[in-house]
Amino acid sequence: MKLSTYIIGKGDTIELLAQQLLGDINQVDTLISLNHLRYPYISDDPYDQYANPKGTVFLVGSYTNPQSITINNINNVNIMPNDTIFLSEGSSYGAGVVQSISGSTITFTSPVQGTYDSGAIVTVFVNQQNITTQVLQTGNTLLYPYTPNATANNTSTNYSLVFGTDWKLDNNGFLVRANNDIATVSGLDNLAQALRNRLQTALGTLMLHPDYGNELYNILGESNKLYFTGLAKYYVQQCAIQDPRIRQAEVTNLTIQEDSVFISLSVIPAGSQDPINMNVTLPIGGVS
């Protein structure tokens, strides 16, 4: 089989690449098999680069670039030499290979970069040397079959497949019911709902996903400062493009009225040229 290569770009997903490179979104399994991929297939989240977690415990004490750490409940996970330990807290994260275990103390083969306080999340993964699958990142190379006569047809993209289906939520985050069942939302509407949820979640509030959310909440108390609007727009845009399905985001308007921030946002999904325009309201007094 003759192969071609493609460099992964920001916003690429395996479904969109199957459509773009092979002309058929249903050919995702071809790309997954050829590149030995595992879910989520393409991700810039460093956590996703490690496979087969054993469990999660928490850090005891504060550390900067630690060579060894102490954790709680060490007996809850069967930690072995050569396992990988992933530390995460806020925007700090790092990974190290276990050299030895003594009581509740783990020593690494080399220091783990970053600063971590007591209570930081410690995820234990199996020995990664035995893992034969991968998750691609931006800048990595994807292999795909060379098909000179195939024509990618982006205009026929099935967005329900690309952007998925989820339960539909109302503006307060409650499930919507329809026809005696839970209503669903698909395609671009599902993407818009997921983006709204991300924007309305304060960064760092989801313990297992510390990089998920909107950093704007950290400066809502400074809304009277001159720099607030510019910094707020930046945080919203950065939050939006965290979603790998978003290629570009622009805040077209941001205003403060009484106890809320009103945001008008235009985003362009990966694999599309058509923007999605949406409005999001953030309460200054807290997370909705």
pLDDT digits (tens, 9 = 90+) for 195-229: 889 998 998 898 888 889 999 888 877 777 777 88
Report the alpha-carbon distance of residue 212 to residue 244 in Å, rounded. Answer: 12
What DSSP line would sit under 62-96, residue for residue? -EES-SEEEES-GGGS---TT-EEEEEETTEEEEE
What are the residue ranges in the chain where pLDDT is below 70? 148-162, 271-273, 284-288
Please return the burial class of 11, using the count of CB atoms within 10 Å of its CB with bins 0-12, 13-18 and 19+: buried
In the numeric block, which tokens belong to residue 211?
């990089």
User: Does domain 164-283 correspond to CATH entry 3.10.450.40?
Assistant: yes
Q: How many CB atoms lie within 10 A of CB 41?
A: 22
Q: Name the one residue in this structure whose structure tokens are 């999660």.
A: 56
For residues 226 and 112, the answer to whether their CB atoms sit within 8 Å is: no
pLDDT confidence of residue 162: 65
pLDDT confidence of residue 160: 65
- What are the residue ranges spanned by the domains of the chain? 3-46+133-156, 52-129, 164-283
pLDDT confidence of residue 108: 97
Q: What angle do CA 185, 191, 197 make, to 5 degrees?
A: 90
Distances (CA, A) of 134 to 38, 40, 46: 6, 10, 12
For residues 141 and 7, the answer to whether their CB atoms sit within 8 Å is: yes
pLDDT confidence of residue 101: 95
pLDDT confidence of residue 288: 38
For residues 203 and 218, the answer to whether their CB atoms sit within 8 Å is: yes
Report the alpha-carbon distance of residue 187 to residue 66 in Å, rounded. Answer: 44
User: Does domain 52-129 correspond to CATH entry 3.60.21?
Assistant: no
Helix ranges (H only) for the chain are 14-22, 28-34, 159-163, 187-199, 228-240
pLDDT confidence of residue 26: 86
Q: Name the one residue in this structure whose structure tokens are 């499930």.
A: 175
pLDDT confidence of residue 158: 60
First vs last C-alpha separation in the chain = 52
Each residue's pLDDT tens digit, 176-190: 998 889 999 988 788
pTM, full prediction:
0.55
